[in-house]
Chains A and B, each alone.
Chain A
Amino acid sequence: MHAFSWSDWLTLFLHFVSLSLLSIGGAITTVPDMHRFLVSEKSWLSDSQFTGSIALAQAAPGPNVLFVAVLGWNIGMNAGGGLAGGASAWGMAFAGVFATMLGILLPSTTLTFFAARWGHQNKERRNVRAFKMAMAPIVVALLMATGWVLTAGHGPFQENLWLWVLTLVSTLVVWQTRIHLLWLLAAGALGGVMGWF
């Protein structure tokens, strides 16, 4: 792994800036391009580091976009020579988090901030009202579709019966009760540790 120069940092930052405005539906939709750039083109991350970073962030609490921070962290760590690299590796890792997260968030949040403000100030306009009316059923269905896509990711129904049952039960519990969501997650994690899935 060659040392990271200033122009490498800038390239990294600008690549995430360029992906930011393309990330409609969340940063996860730009994953294929991140992989092409970071793994195939620049070799800043290995393949397993790339997929491991995404899996880790999915399992951790918080917005899914934090997978970008883990990518940045690992890029910096690699450039600094890994955990064995000591303080300078940690510094590089934090710089990686800063460059990637600032890049992916700054353009999209700025645009959303001003667009949402405009929409709120003009909420009496017929076109703004029509937009909201039109989007409501689509958005509600998108949530159900996302739930379905994630469930289908469990693999075939017959082989992963208990995962499917767990998803169905938590769907019903969320829909019909006010049981705290953390209890459900804890139960899912515990079942997994016991080897039920």
Chain B
Amino acid sequence: MSSALQEFPVLSERPRPSSVTELFIAFSWLALQGFGGVLAIVQRELVENKQWLSTEEFIEDWAVAQIMPGPNVVNIALMIGDRFFGWRGALAALTGMMALPLVVVLALAVALTGVSHEPAVQGALKGMGAVSAGLIAGTGLKLISALKSNTMGRWACFVLALLTLVAIAWLRIPLAWVLMGLGIPAFLWAYRTLSKKDSLERGVL
């Protein structure tokens, strides 16, 4: 997807952060909105609102962030920051993601010493947890549309997604096993379809 687009100058006119400071502020703002997880907010803010990334780029980055060790949203912050401003951008996005939420969570840790068992506090935590579960599931549903351009074809995507869902949500198989067990056959299949497509295109030219 990105490989095809990047040959056109249009891409360079796409919105992008104007400075390291803007990057830092954007990541601080989205991190502060992320109760119970930041991923849904990253997608909403950076893909839909600011349009710094396309949906396809977001899924690609998310796949890498997921497969590497470390917190996924921290990984994706590093990658996006690096893309725009090199290591300075990576550092700005990373500190934006961490600094203010760290202050908030430590302040909460001090303030809530003693009252965390109050029913009102417990209730609020439960309610926010239920919403954040919905945020993640809804983001997943929204990203399905980006699979249409996948060279593996709709059926292969559907089967892979279904198997992943069953393995994680129902059978509760550890993530590392799922990624290897489904990722390797999927990689081989994708490699095959890409080889065919590339040789077809070469034949046409």
Q: Which residues of A contact B (CB under 8 A)?
A: 20-27, 29, 52-53, 55-66, 69-70, 73-74, 83, 97, 101, 105, 107-109, 111-113, 115-117, 119-120, 123-124, 126-127, 129-154, 163-164, 166-175, 178, 181-182, 184-185, 187-197
A175: contacting residue among B63, B138, B172, CB under 8 A: B138
With A111-B68, A197-B127 in contact, is A142–B112 under 8 Å at CB? no
Q: How far is the CA of A18 from the CA of B101 in the complex (A)?
A: 25
Query: Chain B's interface: helix, strand, loop or mixed, by majority?
Result: helix
Please determine whether B194 and A130 come into contact, CB atoms closer than 8 angstroms. yes
Q: How far is the CA of A52 from the CA of B114 in the complex (A)?
A: 11
With A24-B176, A61-B35, A83-B113 in contact, is A136–B67 under 8 Å at CB? no
Q: How far is the CA of A188 from the CA of B129 in the complex (A)?
A: 8
Bitwise, B130-174 to A at CB < 8 A (1) or not (0) is 111111111111111011001110001110111111001100100
Please determine whether B37 and A64 come into contact, CB atoms closer than 8 angstroms. yes
Please, which residue of chain B has its CB at the minimum distance from the CB of A116? B79
Q: How far is the CA of A111 from the CA of B65 in the complex (A)?
A: 11
Please determine whether B63 and A139 come into contact, CB atoms closer than 8 angstroms. yes
Please, which residue of chain A has its CB at the minimum distance from the CB of B127? A192
With A21-B69, A138-B160 in contact, is A69–B106 under 8 Å at CB? yes
Cβ of A192: which chain B residues have Cβ within 8 Å of it?
Answer: 120, 122-128
B2 contacts the other chain (CB 8 A)? yes
Write 28 A-B pairs (CB below 8 A) sorted by A numbering. A23-B71, A24-B69, A64-B37, A64-B71, A108-B69, A111-B68, A111-B70, A112-B70, A112-B78, A113-B79, A116-B82, A123-B2, A126-B194, A127-B187, A129-B3, A138-B160, A141-B140, A144-B137, A150-B129, A150-B136, A152-B169, A166-B127, A168-B134, A170-B133, A172-B138, A175-B141, A188-B129, A192-B120
Please, which residue of chain B has its CB at the minimum distance from the CB of A72? B106
Supply 4 further A-B pairs (C-beta < 8 A) apart from A62-B38, A134-B187: A59-B35, A108-B74, A109-B78, A150-B133
Cβ of A64: which chain B residues have Cβ within 8 Å of it?
Answer: 36-37, 71
With A62-B104, A181-B40 in contact, is A56–B69 under 8 Å at CB? no
Please determine whether A145 and B75 come into contact, CB atoms closer than 8 angstroms. no
Please, which residue of chain A has its CB at the minimum distance from the CB of B62? A139
Please determine whether B64 and A185 come into contact, CB atoms closer than 8 angstroms. no
Please determine whether A58 and B36 come into contact, CB atoms closer than 8 angstroms. yes
Cβ of A62: which chain B residues have Cβ within 8 Å of it?
Answer: 31-32, 34, 38, 97-98, 100-102, 104-105
With A61-B34, A62-B102, A140-B143 in contact, is A56–B136 under 8 Å at CB? no
Please determine whether A132 and B147 come into contact, CB atoms closer than 8 angstroms. no
B20 contacts the other chain (CB 8 A)? no
| B34 to A: closest C-beta gap in Å | 5
Please determine whether B105 and A57 come into contact, CB atoms closer than 8 angstroms. yes
Q: List residues of B (7-45) whose CB comes within 8 Å of A's CBs.
A: 31-41, 44
Please, which residue of chain B has its CB at the minimum distance from the CB of A147? B137
Cβ of A138: which chain B residues have Cβ within 8 Å of it?
Answer: 63, 160-161, 164, 178-179, 182-183, 186
